[in-house]
Homo-oligomer: A and B are copies of this chain.
Amino acid sequence: MLNRVRSAVAHLVSSGGAPPPRPKSPDLPNAPLAQTAAPPEAPRSPPARAGSAAPAKTVEARASFSRPTFLQLSPGGLRRADDHAGRAVQSPPDTGRRLPWSTGYAEVINAGKSRHNEDQACCEVVYVEGQRSVSGAPREPSQGQGLCFYYWGLFDGHAGGGAAEMASRFLHRHIREQLKDLVEILQDPSPPPLCLPSTPGAPGSSDSSHLVGPQSCWSSQKEVTHESLVVGAIENAFQFMDEQMARERRGHQVEGGCCALVVVYLLGKVYVANAGDSRAIIVRNGEIIPMSREFTPETERQRLQLLGFLKPELLGGEFTHLEFPRRIQPKELGQRMLYRDQNMTGWAYKKIELEDLRFPLVCGEGKKARVMATIGVTRGLGDHNLKVCSSTLPIKPFLSCFPEVRVYDLRQYEHCPDDVLVLGTDGLWDVTSDWEVAATVDRVLSAYEPNDASRYTALAQALVLGARGIPRDRGWRLPNNKLGSGDDISVFVIPLGGPGSYS
């Protein structure tokens, strides 16, 4: 994300919106990392200093970078992918093995805001072997078969690429771990058991005969669906991923943080989990179906303010949980200023008191909105070292690693090859509306035969190119001469009824 984490120091010398000059860094070897080889305990991030509070330092500290293995980049290709001047669009080669479902993918590096592309991507088919028999009975050959899920992930890093890199290698494994317990349950059409024995062999209790207590609010048990178990598994996998980053940062210095947008296809349903400001939409028969929402200081203002209100120690005496429409000056003490508290959506006037002169927890608008004047996104993984500039105050307590999960049942609709799920980092969406994406979907796919599996990559490339623009008038510009995105841009196009899809 472009300037998602801001150094207040940088602003003291440059109050404009332009990105700070890119620091020089030594010509480091580009060592691509395989997506699947490393064991969970030993991430391959180099033991560089994290220093996530200051982007400049972070960039200098990075010693290597990688791109998704499915791009199959040679060392020369990796250098071209890392070239800020050319900003060549990268896609998997035509010649190699296609991505599952003939998924299309394209990416481009930023225009210079950080040394390397801090987006990462992952696309995998993951097999989950059941680890327990719920009933405890000996497993029949036909019983307890494992499960497969399809997996796509986009990770948009900030203040370093370590967190995004780590998430791209491990998050699907955490999801697999969370699903292991559920393999048999998810394949059994009867409702999930509410309680499982502590050891296989002891009976599970799924009936209501164990109800206790006379309270009528307990007179019936809640119905829990299979779908909600998958949602819970994904939610907890995000948390375990974040905890792994917290643990391993001590030894391996996981740099910065990342937004995570993840799609899981399992047993006929698509689960879209989003923590951050990436976005997913389905374009179906020309119609747009939003599959995520963005989590920013603006959209999560009330959650952040509530936390600051309930736990004022997290504000360290430096910030106020109240929101004001602009900074208050000391000479305005005693006057009455518009404000919003945590439980308000409207504005009202209040008399300015001494503690209102503190910096607001949430300030700014749009892409300039910030938590504690530092970070512009409120959900994601990592950021365990992130501190308010010139302070030891941690920002992590205000960030949430939990995604919002939306579910789309693929079986409820007969999809055609032009129906797609588009995932993009904010580099795409900052300059492209949902409707412009839908128009590009229509334009590009209609130029290809429905059974041409390369059409989705062509579409991903067109979307990335359309957001990047072309170099003109000292900038990357769109056809309307507005500035294109100077951010890293990454796009997955997942066909929902295409030739290579699940069907």
Binding site for B on A (CB under 8 A): 6, 8, 11-12, 14-17, 178, 181, 192, 194-198, 202, 205, 208, 210-224, 227-236, 306-307, 310-311, 324-329, 332, 334-338, 340, 343-349, 351-352, 363-365, 368-370, 373, 400, 402, 404-405
A235: which of B208, B326, B345 is its contact (CB, 8 Å)?
Answer: B345
Shortest distance in angstroms between A496's beta carbon and chain B's nearest beta carbon?
Answer: 23
Task: Collect the chain B residues with CB atoms within 8 Å of residue A12's CB.
Answer: 214
**21 A–B pairs (Cβ distance < 8 Å), ordered by A:** A192-B347, A194-B325, A195-B336, A196-B335, A210-B332, A217-B368, A218-B327, A219-B368, A221-B325, A222-B325, A223-B325, A228-B345, A231-B346, A232-B344, A232-B345, A234-B346, A235-B343, A235-B345, A236-B344, A344-B402, A345-B404
A197: which of B14, B214, B335, B373 is its contact (CB, 8 Å)?
Answer: B335
Please, how many angstroms separate the alpha-carbon atoms of A326 and B222 in the complex? 7
Find out whether the CB atom of B346 lies under 8 angstroms from the CB atom of A230: yes
Please, how many angstroms separate the alpha-carbon atoms of A332 and B212 in the complex? 12
Task: Collect the chain B residues with CB atoms within 8 Å of residue A328's CB.
Answer: 195
Find out whether the CB atom of A231 lies under 8 angstroms from the CB atom of B345: yes
Shortest distance in angstroms between A277's beta carbon and chain B's nearest beta carbon?
Answer: 16
Find out whether the CB atom of B325 lies under 8 angstroms from the CB atom of A224: yes
Find out whether the CB atom of B214 lies under 8 angstroms from the CB atom of A15: yes
Given A228-B346, A344-B232, A345-B231 in contact, is the A373-B215 Cβ separation under 8 Å? Answer: yes
Find out whether the CB atom of A345 lies under 8 angstroms from the CB atom of B405: yes
Max chain B C-beta neighbours (<10 A), residue from A196, A230, A232: A232
Task: Collect the chain B residues with CB atoms within 8 Å of residue A347's CB.
Answer: 192, 224, 228-229, 231-232
Please, how many angstroms separate the alpha-carbon atoms of A306 and B327 in the complex? 30
Find out whether the CB atom of A402 lies under 8 angstroms from the CB atom of B343: yes
Task: Collect the chain B residues with CB atoms within 8 Å of residue A216's CB.
Answer: 6, 11, 15-17, 364, 368
Find out whether the CB atom of A329 lies under 8 angstroms from the CB atom of B194: no
Task: Collect the chain B residues with CB atoms within 8 Å of residue A217's CB.
Answer: 6, 363-364, 368-370, 373
Task: Collect the chain B residues with CB atoms within 8 Å of residue A337's CB.
Answer: 194-196
Shortest distance in angstroms between A329's beta carbon and chain B's nearest beta carbon?
Answer: 6
Max chain B C-beta neighbours (<10 A), residue from A197, A208, A215, A344: A215
Copies of this protein, total: 2
Shortest distance in angstroms between A464's beta carbon and chain B's nearest beta carbon?
Answer: 27
Shortest distance in angstroms between A258's beta carbon and chain B's nearest beta carbon?
Answer: 18
Please, how many angstroms separate the alpha-carbon atoms of A212 and B198 in the complex? 60
Task: Collect the chain B residues with CB atoms within 8 Å of residue A329's CB.
Answer: 210, 212
A11: which of B215, B307, B338 is its contact (CB, 8 Å)?
Answer: B215
Task: Collect the chain B residues with CB atoms within 8 Å of residue A14's CB.
Answer: 214
Find out whether the CB atom of A326 lies under 8 angstroms from the CB atom of B221: yes
Find out whether the CB atom of A219 lies under 8 angstroms from the CB atom of B17: yes
A233: which of B196, B215, B346 is its contact (CB, 8 Å)?
Answer: B346
A335: which of B195, B214, B365, B405 is its contact (CB, 8 Å)?
Answer: B195
Task: Collect the chain B residues with CB atoms within 8 Å of residue A213's CB.
Answer: 327
A181: which of B311, B349, B404 is its contact (CB, 8 Å)?
Answer: B349
Shortest distance in angstroms between A332's beta carbon and chain B's nearest beta carbon?
Answer: 6
Those 4 A-B pairs whose CB atoms lie nearest each other, nearest first: A231-B346, A217-B364, A232-B346, A222-B325
Please, how many angstroms separate the alpha-carbon atoms of A370 and B216 in the complex? 10
Find out whether the CB atom of B348 lies under 8 angstroms from the CB atom of A233: yes
Which partner residue on chain B sits nearest A193 by CB separation?
B338
Please, how many angstroms separate the alpha-carbon atoms of A346 and B219 in the complex? 22
Shortest distance in angstroms between A370's beta carbon and chain B's nearest beta carbon?
Answer: 4
Please, how many angstroms separate the alpha-carbon atoms of A192 and B329 in the complex? 19
A332: which of B195, B345, B400, B402 is its contact (CB, 8 Å)?
Answer: B195
Shortest distance in angstroms between A161's beta carbon and chain B's nearest beta carbon?
Answer: 24
Task: Collect the chain B residues with CB atoms within 8 Å of residue A16's CB.
Answer: 216, 219
Known: A208-B326, A215-B327. 7 other contacts (CB 8 A): A202-B335, A210-B332, A218-B327, A224-B347, A229-B347, A231-B347, A233-B348
Shortest distance in angstroms between A188's beta carbon and chain B's nearest beta carbon?
Answer: 15
Task: Collect the chain B residues with CB atoms within 8 Å of residue A194's CB.
Answer: 324-326, 337-338
